[in-house]
Amino acid sequence: MRPFTYERATDAQAAVKAVAENPGARFLAGGTNLLDLMKLEIEAPTHLVDVGRLPFAGIEETDEGGLRIGGAMTNARLAAHPKVRERYPVLTRAILAGASGQLRNKATTAGNLLQRTRCDYFYDTTKPCNKRQPGSGCSALGGPTGYGAIFGASEACIATHTSDMAVAMTALDASVETMTPDGGVRTIKVEALHLLPEATPQVETQLAAGELITAVVLPPPPLGGQAYAKVRDRASYAHGLAMVAVAGGRVAFGAVAHKPWRAAQAEAALAAGASPAEAAAAEMAGADADDRRTHKIALVRRLAAATIEDAGSAR
Amino acid sequence: MTSVADWAEPNPVTENRSGVIGKGVDRYEGALKVSGTAPYAYDTVAPSPPAIGVLVTASIPRGRVTSVDVAAAEAAPGVQLVWSHLNAPKQAPRGARANPRSQRASNPALASDRVEYFGQTIAFVVADTFENARAAADLVKVEYAPEPAVVDFLASFDQATLPPDEEDVHIGDFPGAYGAAPVTIDETYFSPLQNHVQMEPCATVAWWEGDKVTVHTSIQMVKGGQHALAETLAIPSTDVHLLTRYIGGGFGGKGQPYDDLILSALAARALGRPVKVAYTRQQMFHGTIHRPAVSMRVRLGAEPNGRLTAFAVEAVTHCARAATFTEHAANFSRNLYAAPNRLTGHRLVRMDLPHAGPMRAPGEAPGMLSLECAMDELAEKLGLDPIELRIRNEPDIDPETGKPFSIRQLVRCMTEGAQRFGWERRNPVPGQVRDGRWMVGMGMAAAIRGNFLLPAKAGVRIDADGTITLRQGMTDIGTGTYTILAQITAETMGVPLSQVKVEIGDSDFPPAPGSGGQFGAATAGSAAFEAGMNLRRALTELAVGDPNSPLYGGPAEYVTFENGVIAIENRSETLAALVARAAPDGVYVEGSIAPAADARDYSQHTYGAHFAEVGVNMVTGEVRMRKMFGVFAAGRILNAKTAKSQITGGMIWGVGTALTESNAVDPRFGSFVAQDMAEYLAPVHADIVDLDAMFLDEADDKANPMGIKGVGELGIAGAGAAIANAIYNATGVRLRDYPMTPDKVLAGLMAKGL
Ligand SMILES: Cc1cc2nc3c(=O)[nH]c(=O)nc-3n(C[C@H](O)[C@H](O)[C@H](O)COP(=O)(O)OP(=O)(O)OC[C@H]3O[C@@H](n4cnc5c(N)ncnc54)[C@H](O)[C@@H]3O)c2cc1C
Ligand code: SF4
């Protein structure tokens, strides 16, 4: 870890300015991801602006009948919120499927969305990794474990995004609200927040430097059932091998791509009256993987079919 | 020398008058641990503020360090010292042993430019703070001349050789009998490389006073650590004071010293101030030992009635190029089932990986994963219940050596376990039981693990206030050693537990071999018992020889010790009164234990049976343990609570072994893929749902004076196989490649059209 300076932001605008004007500065929220990365010198900010105590840690109703979730609200409080549990059970379930109780007590809405990949080679600084060190190569490609994306991967990077919360938010058609460096406010769909790796896997979202996530807005709950499923090696405290969130007619996958993956083909098939299995197969027709990862295509297809079925019988 | 016959005599522990032996008393140091106040090595407060050392490790598996650029690190804030092989203090060459009785050879750090494995220490930085040391460590720039490395185990079997000083064991005519057997099994099982992932990483605080160094470190063997440091520094072992009072897990991985110990001592000497060093979590994976992968071929030949006629277990495993460690994965099978024609043996591949070494139940833990599944496969082929198959092959005498068993209750473990677990609920036809999307099945496996007694000493003193203090160069790696030593001492001396103090983990105390091989309780405990018996004799003499004692002149053979009182019938006084008056400075004696001369005339083991119920998710291939129960026979149980905690801990590790725990070697880099506890998947609470165990009543009077045996390793032996067999029973998918992760299970389900 490199030495760094620290300030606790008291207002959002000043925080945005502090980070936008200093290329070495980063926002700090719960710190559960960023500090780990700093200890390993995967990230080496020279200045941290702590936005964890800015006054947007609550939940409010929107005029449209949805909810506005503060960017600094903890994952634990969000998952437990009665309005979320009642109207967006897929979100509660997704959050509770992630990390551990201790981590969820610290982790925030914005930090969770912006958590970086768990790719083993991203974490091992002795290995080439285009995301960590652009141009050095991708060690996960051809690695022994069968890790990697099955949608939208590139030669440069096959990393997956493994936020559980973001998968549910994608299925719920949520948007993030940001404060931009010029003081403006911007709204971005969660499904459009993250980018595919292409040739620049180090660029992970469409946020500008210093752009602050202030809230996530959920539209009114969709008609129809909601369901969340996560496959993992152990029963808790493990990143997903695959996740599926279903909310009404919307379907999203996790741990399959560089971003939470909206399963548009599956949705279209469902809208056209396809069965859950057919809808899952429609999406998986677009999946692509090398030999070591083909098992994952089968896994996601089966999980998607089962979860769509569960959502159908959930209401 | 003693004979095991001497141990059959009743004694205070076997008579257990106060009942404290066997009782589930709370941990002696429990309050300190749960309140976070037990000072582990790194927490030790040095006499003056320590400087902090950080290791820099190699990023190639094999080759030479061609240059080390330390300029930036040396110029970094707070840095006091930067060492590489170019300027590290001279140490005795690796393996040197100036003192022939030394328990460990020299283990120098930064000794040469050679890189023998990924993660080897190649430089060392000391600074005023941890943060400064870590930041500077990242500034050390190293260049290498890499050399080709052998790191792919499965691709290197052609390099396998017999382990040193070892031959295969042939009994009868295995090939002939196997060829003639009407029913056969020939399968190969694979168990992966595992890391110890102790909660507490290796750590040391060191300081010097004149020529003497004091080290507080985390190590399972007190004498081994003391001698290794002395040999490496080429100083007398009496100049090394090693303390290891609280240890956050060892599992065999801390049986030897690592670079934290050597480098903190060297740096403390060079800087003239205390230095402390800890491995990071990531460094633990490569910088310390691991359990090697094992490939095991099992061949069984049987009569239609289930009697085994031919039996072969052959293991291929690996160790570091310069080492000789062998994971003896076939050894256990030499004592388990009767069969007249037998073949067992090992092959070793030398690789350029970090050092393989012992991990909880070395040999049995991976080994039983093979045979105990093969027996399940054979039972199905024969149409026999797996328990019945094992009973039909239960030997009367040790099947390899022909020696009598000291005691063997394996069959009772299986039958009692079957009843308590509800084995009769198991449908022998696989793939029949459903619970929603879950396929449910049951499996069982036997457990066996050797029992050992090593030479040990202990000291015990009584003070004028009646406090009895046991002192021993023993360790408690979280197993409950403090507690059972207190219980043994209390019962031997006939005093309440509250009157007993236990001081261990100090090289100044009478030596015990430490914690390992599940020999700790029997070995250290027996020495404590003998010391206690000697103290009884000393106090008896004191009392009957003291004209002021009510016991004066009484017959020594009638003296009793109970409730803190020494008595001859109704003549009595408290121990405190006796000592305060007759020996106000206290009385100190030592005792020792050694293996009996005829101990090897018996086949001596601990036994058990595991029963598991699992659910297999038909959609995803995820396996979740639903219920597990084990019955064990392991001699007299000293503490119901700590023994059960040990045995269930072993079973839990078995669940992890079957389902999640492994580390992949990346053959391109010669390093392990998982390097933290988010990726190296040991079970968490949610994985262990309903798991319980019980011990059969047993006392093994051939084992030691107390009739106790080890429990630390037995619980893991066979546990994973019970889970694997349950997966088969649930699904009809037979996996032989551990751990049985969702991808493998799902592939099996899909191959069955599910
Ligand atoms: C062992 C372990 C297991 C885990 N398992 C899971 C799991 O199973 N599922 C899962 O979903 N997650 C898992 N996680 C990840 C966890 O959810 C994230 O670490 C957490 O959500 C990050 O939130 P934080 O507030 O601590 O973010 P921080 O670490 O503080 O920040 C993360 C990133 O977000 C940026 N940031 C923070 N706030 C803002 C803001 N308001 N605007 C703009 N940028 C901002 C920071 O600059 C940083 O780049 C796991 C983490 C660990 C350590
Ligand atoms: S997949 Fe991406 S993060 Fe992983 S090694 Fe390749 S480039 Fe780095």
Task: Tell me what the mean pLDDT of segment B586-601 comes to.
Answer: 96
**B619 CB near a chain A CB, below 8 Å?**
yes
CA B21 centroid distance within chain:
23
- Residue B2, classified by CB atoms within 10 Å of its CB into exposed (0-12), middle (13-18) or buried (19+), is middle
Contact by Cβ (8 Å): B284, B119: no
Residue B555: HSE in the Cβ half-sphere, 13 Å Cα cutoff: 3
Q: What would the two tokens of residue B512 be?
A: 């015990």
Domains B4-38+456-594 and B41-148+196-287 share a fold: yes
Cis amide prior to B739 (ω within 30 degrees): yes
Give the global pTM. 0.97
Q: Is A271 on the interface with B (CB under 8 A)?
A: no
B2 CB within 8 Å of a chain A CB? no
Which tens digit of pLDDT belongs to each residue from A51-75?
999 999 899 999 999 999 999 999 9
The tokens for A92 are 């509660």
Give B691's DSSP letter.
Answer: E
Query: What is the DSSP secondary structure assignment for residue B258, as one 8-state letter?
Result: -
Task: Give the model confidence (pLDDT) of B191-204 as tens digits.
Answer: 999 999 999 999 99
Q: Does B681 touch chain A (CB under 8 A)?
A: yes
Q: What is the DSSP letter of B607?
A: E
CA dist A210 and A224 (Å) reads: 38
Q: List the single residue in A142, A146, A235 with the smallest CB-CB distance to B743.
A: A146
The pLDDT tens digits of the residues spanning B108-160 come to 999 999 999 999 999 999 999 999 999 999 999 999 999 999 999 999 999 99
Q: What is the DSSP string of B242-269?
A: EE----S--TTTTSS--HHHHHHHHHHH
Average per-residue pLDDT for chain B: 97
Paired tokens of B156: 């290197």
Structure token pair of residue B642: 């700590």
Average pLDDT for B557-564: 97
Q: Can you tell me the mean pLDDT for B16-27?
A: 97
Q: Is B749 exposed, middle or buried (CB count within 10 Å of its CB: 0-12, 13-18, 19+)? A: buried
Q: Is B752 on the interface with A (CB under 8 A)?
A: no
- pLDDT of B323 higher than 90: no
Write out chain B residues lying below 8 Å of A302, CB-based. 619-620, 746
CATH of B4-38+456-594, one of 3.20.20.80, 2.60.40.10, 1.10.760.10, 3.30.365.10: 3.30.365.10
User: Please, what is the average pLDDT of chain A?
Assistant: 96
CA of B664 to the centre of ligand 2 (A): 17
Pocket test for ligand 1, best of A17, A27, A51 (most atoms within 8 A of CB): A27
For residue range B251-269, what is the model confidence (pLDDT) as tens digits? 999 999 999 999 999 999 9
Average pLDDT over residues A221-249: 97
**What order of strands is seen across the sheet that includes strand B691-695?**
B433-435, B438-450, B605-617, B623-633, B691-695
The bound ligand whose nearest atom lies closest to the alpha carbon of A70 is 1
- The mean pLDDT of A205-215, rounded to a whole number, is 97
Confidence of residue A315 (pLDDT cuts 50, 70, 90): low
Residue B199 Cα to ligand 1 middle (Å): 24
Which region holds residue A242: left if phi is over 0, alpha if psi is between -120 and 50, else beta? beta
Report the helix count and the strand count for chain A, using DSSP H and E.
Answer: 13, 12
What radius of gyration, in Å, describes the C-alpha atoms of chain B? 27
**Predicted local confidence at residue B322, as pLDDT:** 87
Residues B41-148+196-287, CATH architecture: 2-Layer Sandwich (3.30)
Binning pLDDT at 50, 70 and 90, where does residue A290 land? confident
State the amino acid at position A65 in one-letter form: G
Give pLDDT tens digits for B204-251.
Answer: 999 999 999 999 999 999 999 999 999 999 999 999 999 999 999 999
Answer whether residue B64 shows pLDDT above 80. yes
The proportion of chain B whose per-residue pLDDT surpasses 70, expressed as a percent, equals 100
* Neighbouring C-beta atoms of residue A14, cutoff 10 Å: 13
Q: Which residue of B has its CA nearest to A145?
A: B664
Side-chain half-sphere exposure of B129, counting CA atoms within 13 A? 9
At residue A39, does pLDDT exceed 60?
A: yes
Number of helices and strands in chain B (H, E):
17, 31
Confidence of residue B741 (pLDDT cuts 50, 70, 90): very high
> Which protein residues are within 6 Å of ligand 1, measured from CB?
A 26-34, 36, 51, 71, 98-99, 103, 106-108, 110-112, 114-115, 162-165, 212-213, 239; B 678
Who lines ligand 2 at CB under 6 A?
A 117, 119, 121-122, 129-131, 138-140, 157-159, 201
E strands within B500-653?
A: 500-504, 560-562, 565-568, 571-574, 587-593, 605-617, 623-633
Backbone angles phi, psi at A145, to 5 degrees: -105, -5
Q: pLDDT tens, B326-340?
A: 999 999 999 999 999
Write the Ramachandran bin of B155: left for phi over 0, alpha for psi from -120 to 50, otherwise beta: alpha
CB contact under 8 A, B676 and A123: yes
CB burial of residue A126 (10 Å; 0-12, 13-18, 19+)? middle
Is there a contact between A41 and B685 if contact means CB atoms under 8 Å apart? no
The pLDDT assigned to A291 comes to: 81
B187 alpha carbon – ligand 2 mean position (Å): 38
Catalytic site residues of B?
A: 713
Sorted by sequence, the CB contacts under 8 Å of residue B87 that are 6+ apart come out as: none
Closest C-alpha among A224, A177, A179 to residue A67:
A177
Q: Is A236 on the interface with B (CB under 8 A)?
A: yes
* SS3 state at B262: helix
- ipTM (interface pTM): 0.97
Q: In what order do the strands lie in the sheet with B141-146?
A: B114-115, B63-69, B141-146
Output the CA A157–ligand 2 centroid distance in Å. 5
Domain boundaries, chain B: 4-38+456-594, 41-148+196-287
The alpha carbon of residue A52 and the mean position of all alpha carbons in its chain are separated, in whole angstroms, by 18
Mean pLDDT of B430-442: 98
* Closest by Cβ to B624, choosing from A41, A126, A235: A235
SS (H, E, C) A213-261: EEEEEECCCCCCCEEEEEECCCCCCCCCCEEEEEECCEEEEECCCCCCE
Flag whether pLDDT at A307 surpasses 60.
yes
Distance A115 CA to ligand 1 centre (A): 4
CB A118 within 8 A of CB A32: no
**B361 closest CA partner among B453, B445, B455, B291:** B291
Does B721 have pLDDT greater than 60? yes
Nearest CA to ligand 2 atom 6: A138
Instruction: Specify whether the CB–CB gap between A298 and A146 falls below 8 A.
Output: no
Give pLDDT, residue B324. Answer: 83
pLDDT given for residue B1 in this prediction: 60
Residues in chain A, total: 315
Tokens standing for residue B345: 């043996």
Residue of B nearest to A44 (CA): B135
